[in-house]
Structures are given as structure tokens and as C-alpha cells.
Structure 1
Amino acid sequence: MLTSAVTLPYVPAAKKRSLFLDAYRGCAVALMIVFHFCWDLRNFDFLQFSIHDPFWVYFRSLILTLFLTAVGWSGYLTRQSQQPNTFWRRDLKLFIAAAAISLATYLAAPTQWIYFGILHFILLASLLTRPLLRWPILSALLGALILYTYHFTDWLLFPNAFDFIQQHFFALPTRTLDIVFPFPWIGVVLIGPLLGYLGWHTFSIGENIAVKILAFMGQYALPIYLLHQVILFSAVASFKMVLEWFY
């Protein structure tokens, strides 16, 4: 009996995402939406609070910590997957998104436009910390050293960190809608690769509806970031307008 072997072309398996990492990042997205929604309510006088109160300062710090550890963590996993092109595609998306945020806020609020917000920082931090992704323990130790130095000395305190740019290149607003200073947050990014090295992305957290929603938000964090405030601000502004019509 004659048989013939048929060789099928190799089709690489789709890269499997980490449900835990996506949900982890999704938690940051969900908290960010809550934070910005409260800010919008405050802006239209539905709530009264100071964003400098400790609760809101720590709330923002928690959001940044989740986002930025995820940056280093996902960077480590990308390097382990040996897909270097993924880095540059992500960098290009971040660059375009950051530029769009700067342009949009400059047109909408020229005295408070965002010249170095979270997206700008993530792009810069990703580039600066990438060489250390192959040494996650060293990266985490350096990150911890930066955090310790920032919180327990005044060596990394730069309250006017962008003065040089303002004095020598172009004028920057004295107030901005969002700003993320390099220190101490670069240290948080540097700790992220250790989470990948320790295998946190392999944790099993089930697949209930809440986890799936958070994972979806984490997977599409960038478009949600770009769109959510437009939707929230417009909704609160419209509600305020309707109330003024009737009362």
C-alpha cells in the first residue's frame, strides 16, 4: 500500500497573553477612570476636594505604581519572547499617542497643556530601562535604590525639573493638566522586570466576568486612556448643562 506524506506549512501559534498581567493593568485603568471621573465632578462643582489632599495624592501614586510596574514587567516578557520588533511598534504607538495628547491639550488648554504626562514618561522610561531587562534582579535593586534615595534624601528632588528646557528652548506652562517627573517613577519601572522574572504572570485568577472585564481593559489600556476622559468630561459637562436648563 502506497502512502504519501503531506507537509503543511508551519503556522506559528499566536502569542498567549497573560490574563493576570492584563487584569493587573486593567485594575490601573479602572482606578484611573474613577480618579478622572471624580476630577471631572470636581471641575463642574459636583464634588468639593483638593487634589493635594493625602488621599488623592496616594490614590494617584497607586495608579502610577500599577501602570509603571506593568511597563517594566511587560517589557521583560517581550524580551523573553524574543520578539524585538514588538518594542518598536509599541514605541511608535506611544510616540504618536503622546504627541496627540500634547497637541489636543495645547489646543484645548494652551496655558495648561500636557508636555510630559504619563505617556511621555512611559515612552522615555521604556527606552532608558530596556538595556536592563536582561538582568531583572539588578534592575529591581537599582529601582529600589532610586526609591530609597528619593524618599530618604534630597538628592533626587527636582521641583523645577523642566526649568532648563523652559529657559533655553521654549516656554512651558507653569501649570499642566498632567505631569510625571522622572524621579522617583523611573525606579518603579525598574522594579517591574522582577515581577516577570518571579513568574507573576503565570498566576491563575480564574476567568469570571470581573476578571475578563479587567483583562479587556488592560489589553486595550492605550485606546481607553486616549478616549475615556473625552467621554467622561463630555458626559459630566452635558449633565451640568441639562441641570442648568431645568434649574
Structure 2
Amino acid sequence: MRTPGPPGRSDRLDALRGLAMVWMAVFHFCYDLNHFGLIRQAFRSDPFWLWQRTAIVTLFLACAGLALALALHAGQGWPRFWRRWAQVAGCAVLVSAGSALMFPRSWISFGILHGIAVMLVLARLAAPLRGWLWLLGLVAIALPRLVADPFFDSRWTNWLGLVTRKPVTEDWAPVLPWLGVMLWGLAAGQWLLARRPGWLAGALPHRLAPLAALGRWSLSFYMLHQPVLIGALMLYLWIRR
């Protein structure tokens, strides 16, 4: 068994985040195979792929909410928060730039990193609400189904999520409804820390250590995995010619 990590971190949470990273990488590899014509799948309409994406994003944002609860419990101040936030926001800008080069007609203007950057600020501001976060999260999840307007269909406004149609883009994680998932993760983390702290701080089986290590470097892995996968497939196609 591995001993618990340093204050503000949880090996168990890192392993859960690492599992999400592996799942995401497999999903993206299949997506890349489809992009290069090596398989034929309807990623934009087949429920099998749509539900997988939903599950992966849900797991990511729930982990982000849990991690925020741990950080606040450990006394994280705003300066340290902003340093980490700047890394996420900077990587989001790089994702937009890279996607614009590779997918000029469907580039990523508000993907998962953009969403996390905005939602982390909102979730941190809402953290003092504690038990009320469950209700606030429910409202955030329900709003897109109750309120929608064509005004929000443009690239400048679709980040909020109140759209009448999904945008044509390689990735899209609007504030609504996904803020609700992060708020529920934050609320769950606060509840666990108050009533079941051992569930997050407990030791991790040694065989899961690689997942925990991956989870601690999730942002770096996220930024590097697609260039590596795409580069490897391009090399394969070049050799196969």
C-alpha cells in the first residue's frame, strides 16, 4: 500500500484523475484513427461515442471539484490558486491556436480547458455555500434545458451553454451545464472531508501507483498526448505509402 500524499493532494483522487486520462487518451486515439480514415465511426452522432465523451468530461470536472475542495481545506490562498489557474488558461490558449491550424473550420474556441479555467473561478467563489452547492449545481445542469436563445449560438457567446444548436467544433465544454458537475464535485469533496476524510486520504494500492502519478501530471499529459498520437499516426501513414 502507498501512504497518503502531501497535504492538499490525495493519491486516490490522483488515481481517479489518471483513470480519466487513460480513458480520454484511448478515446482520442480512436478519434484520430477516424480522422485519418483508418476506421469509420460517427463520433458526432453515434451514442456509443457521445456517451463516452460525456462520461469522460463528467469524471474530469468532478475530479476538479474534489481537488478544489482539498486545496481549500489545505489552506490554498488566492495567489497560489491564480498561479495554477494561469497554467490552465495558458494551455487553453495553446489548444485554440493548435486546433485552428489543424481544424480551421472547427477549431476549439471553448473546450474543456477553457471551461475549467472559467469554472474554477466560479466554483471557488461559490465554495462558502457548502451544502447549497448541491442545489446550485442542479440549477446549472438544468438551465440549458430550460433557457436557450439563438443569441448564444455564436462563437462569442456559446461558451455559456444556452445554445439552440451545438457548435461545429472539435471540443466544446460550456459553463452550463458543466459548472454543475464541478460544483457537485466540490460539494462531495467538502462532505467527504467533513464526514469521511479517510475515503480521500486513505492509502492507495501499489498497483494503482502509475495512475496516481499520471493524475499528478494531468495537464502536461493532456497537452502532449494528442501531438504524440497524431504525429505517430502521420508517421505510420507516411511509412505505409
- Return the match for 2:55 from 59, 62, 68: 62
Q: Which runs of 5+ in 2 are unaligned?
A: 158-166
Q: Which residue of 2 aligns with 1:45?
A: 37
Q: What displacement does 1:111 show?
A: 2.2
TM-score normalised over the length of structure 1: 0.81
Q: Which residue of 2 aligns with 1:243?
A: 240
* Separation of aligned partners in 2, 1:111 and 1:240: 23
CA distance in 1, matches of 2:177, 2:91: 23
2: CA distance, partners of 1:158 / 1:229? 34
Runs of 4+ in 1 over 4 A off after TM superposition: 157-160
CA contact (8 A) 2:111 2:171 kept: yes
Structure 1 or 2: larger helix share?
Answer: 2
The Cα shift of 1:198 comes to 2.9
Q: How far 1:222 sits from its partner (Å)?
A: 0.3
Write out per-residue CA displacement over residues 106-155 of structure 1, whole angstroms, 9 at most, x where no aligned residue. 233322221111000000111112122123321122112332454xxx32
- Counterparts of residues 34-113 of structure 1 (less than 5 Å): 34-51=26-43, 52-84=45-77, 85-113=79-107
CA contact (8 A) 2:134 2:183 kept: yes
Distance 1:241 1:202 in 2: 52
Which secondary structure does the structure 2 equivalent of 1:134 belong to? helix
CA distance 1:201–1:38, shift in 2 (3 Å) = farther
SS in 1 for 2:146: coil
Distance 1:118 1:42, change over 3 A: same
- Root-mean-square deviation (CA, aligned residues, Å) is 2.3
Per the alignment, residue 207 of structure 1 pairs with: 205
Show the counterpart of 1:10.
Answer: none
Q: Secondary structure at the match of 1:198?
A: helix
Deviation at 1:207, TM superposition (A): 2.3
Structure 1: unaligned runs, 5 residues or longer: 1-12, 167-173
3-state SS of 1:45 partner: coil
Q: Which piece of structure 1 moves more, 157-166 or 120-129? A: 157-166
Which residue does the alignment assign to 2:132? 138
Structure-2 separation of matches of 1:16 and 1:105: 33
Distance in 1 separating the partners of 2:197 and 2:35: 38
The verdict on how the C-alpha distance between 1:235 and 1:159 changes in structure 2, with shifts beyond 3 A counting, is farther
Structure 2 length-normalised TM: 0.83
